Copies of this chain bind each other. A is one copy, B any other.
Amino acid sequence: MVQQRRGEETRSRILEAAVECFAQHGYDRAGVAEICHRAGVTKGGFYHHFPGKQALFLELMGRWLARLDAQLASAQAEVDTFPDKLVRMAGMASQVFREASGQLPMFLEFWTRAAREPEVWQATIAPYRRYRAFFRGMVEAGVAEGTLRSVDPDLAAQVIVSLAVGLVLQGVLDPDGADWGQVTRESIQMLLEGLRKCADET
């Protein structure tokens, strides 16, 4: 038991050190040696937990996406209608940008690699297709409950995802260009006004 707990602590220390190294030097330039040094583990200890730097990155990405999923689920749980849910999700944007602060350029670097290497693509881009399906389901429910016009759910989901992706990329590339959390809330609000069923529609 003690050994297992120690193993988990080491694993967490390696992950934390990796976040710092990736943020500081970028994925390509961050070395396993420096990650080990910061985490205070030997190379043997490192390779006991992770086959390499890529596996480490994929676990970080997976944990980040799992947190995002949990946030999206909790935003869904507490309110009833599609517009209220979407507004709550947009309201989380500031927190998401804050948590991702310093890490997003690293994702950008990895996406670059994903554009060339099929195995990286599979692990980093394929999951995002889930979000389109997730929002399609939400839009379908919104049309069914009568809060949305009878829009094409797949297209509306695509617009929501594209807008979110665009806001994230701008937040990465131009962090000082706007208060991206606020811009996200207001942009989603504007999009919603276009999707919402007007009072005089039947």
Binding site for B on A (CB under 8 A): 26, 28, 104-105, 108-109, 111-112, 114-116, 121, 125, 128-129, 151-152, 155-156, 158-159, 161-167, 169-170, 172-174, 177-178, 183, 186-187, 190-191, 193-195, 198, 200
Query: Closest residue to A124 on the B side, CB-wise?
Result: B173
Instruction: Report the Cα distance A152→B187, complex, angstroms.
Output: 11
Chain B nearest CB from A150 CB (Å) reads 12
Q: Is B194 a contact partner of A26 (Cβ separation < 8 A)? A: no
Contacts of A200 in B (CB 8 A): 200
The CA-CA distance from A121 to B170 in the complex, in Å, is 12
A169 touches B174 (CB 8 A): no
Given the complex of chains A and B, what is the CA–CA distance between A74 and B130 in angstroms? 38
The CA of A159 and the CA of B191, in the complex, are separated in Å by 8
